[in-house]
Copies of this chain bind each other. A is one copy, B any other.
Amino acid sequence: MTSLPVVNQPPHRCGALVDHLARRLRLRSESVLAPLGLRPRHLIPLTVLRDRGGSSQQDLAKILEMDSTNVVTLLNELETENLIARRRSPEDRRRHLVELTDVGAKLLARAEFALTAVEDEVFSGLSDEQRETLYELLQQATRKTGVEACRETPPC
């Protein structure tokens, strides 16, 4: 037999499922977030910043895996709304340290609250417990990202 070693348990790729869910969430989120002046893409950096308590701008770009020029414009939007603040790093004044403002933290909380219905709908197939588990797994998977990005840039 030229048998490729057919794996016992099929590998279970999550990619398509994640993509699918992301789309479903994004679609619904848009209309919910619009009144708050936010778009779905804004929530990602806001959440990351809350989780990490601030970050250099290029670290942020690495974490978001986004081109740094696009990060700039994204942050510009958030800064003009006073949701994040950039301040120069004392050690290296070329760097911008980005952090969530109080306004930003509050708006993020409001946004999350507003999204309750959305997530209830999209995750209606899951029990509360399961949703909590899901959240923790996602959190853990993404948190790893931060660590990774940190390894490459000592100063964080």
Contact = CB atoms under 8 A, between A and B. Distances in A.
**A10, A116, A130, A141: residue with the most chain B Cβ atoms closer than 10 Å:** A141
Each complex incorporates copies of this chain amounting to 2
A5 to B, nearest CB: 11
Nearest to A12: B135
Interface residues of A, number: 56
Contacts of A135: 12, 14, 17
B137 A133 contact: yes
**A17, A46, A140, A145: residue with the most chain B Cβ atoms closer than 10 Å:** A17
A14 B43 CA distance: 11
* Nearest 6 interchain pairs by C-beta: A125-B144, A22-B22, A17-B138, A16-B47, A16-B43, A13-B112
